[in-house]
Amino acid sequence: MRRKIEIAQSLNHGYTQHMRKKLVLGMVLASLLLFSCSLSPEQEAYARTLELPDLRLTNATYRLDRGDNEPLSVTAAEISLYHATNKAIITNFTFTQTSADGTLLLLGKAQRAEVNLTTYDATLTGAIRVEKPSDMLVVEAEHLVWYHDEQHLLSVGEEMVSLQFEGNKTIRGVGMDIQLKDGSVSFTQLDEGVIFL
């Protein structure tokens, strides 16, 4: 009986040492893995630079003006500027664009926009409304892309867009493409309304 106990203790001791070796080996491998996957201080700082804005404005008005075009004035709940990626994230905002003589060219609103600070091209999302008073044109959508220099507004994917013109005429459809400079409008598919050629 004593021999059986000694053998059992010996086996138990061997098993315990074996498990300790596995545990130590596992901890060493985990440490090496974590160490090899961690970023250098420079990489961490750069990653944080891309994630955190260089400047965050709340309840602010920001004027986008390159000097070669009519400026765009944006009033927003929050404007975050990222200089490394040259973009701005704007939330819950309204915007206006006026000519040199003060004539209102464009106005609108949206819940969010990501704007390229070099070109002023933007992707707008959420409860969008864009108006061009001179043409009595109103666009309402959930997702639009804006090309600033071309004054070109496009809907995205199969998103439904509502276009109101001449004050009381409405067209609803998908695949909207508007050239605001010359007033041309097209849809890939109409859901409601008629366009006369």
162 and 108: one domain? yes
Q: Which domain holds residue 168?
A: 48-192
CB atoms within 10 A of CB 172: 16
User: Is residue 43, in this structure, part of any structural domain at all?
Assistant: no
d(CA 137, CA 169): 10
Q: What is the pLDDT of residues 143-192, one digit of tens each?
A: 999 998 888 899 988 889 998 888 788 889 999 999 888 878 888 888 87
Contact 171, 187 (CB under 8 A): yes
Q: Three-class SS of residue 52?
A: coil
Q: What is the pTM of this model?
A: 0.69
Name the nearest CA neighbour of 153 among 193, 190, 191, 113.
113
Q: What is the pLDDT of residues 36-88, one digit of tens each?
A: 555 556 555 555 555 788 989 999 998 877 666 677 889 999 999 999 999 99
Question: Which CATH number covers residue 144?
Answer: 2.60.450.10
176 and 100: one domain? yes
CB atoms within 10 A of CB 99: 11
Q: What is the pLDDT of residues 92-103, one digit of tens each?
A: 999 998 888 888
62 and 153: one domain? yes
| Residue 135 reports pLDDT greater than 90 | no
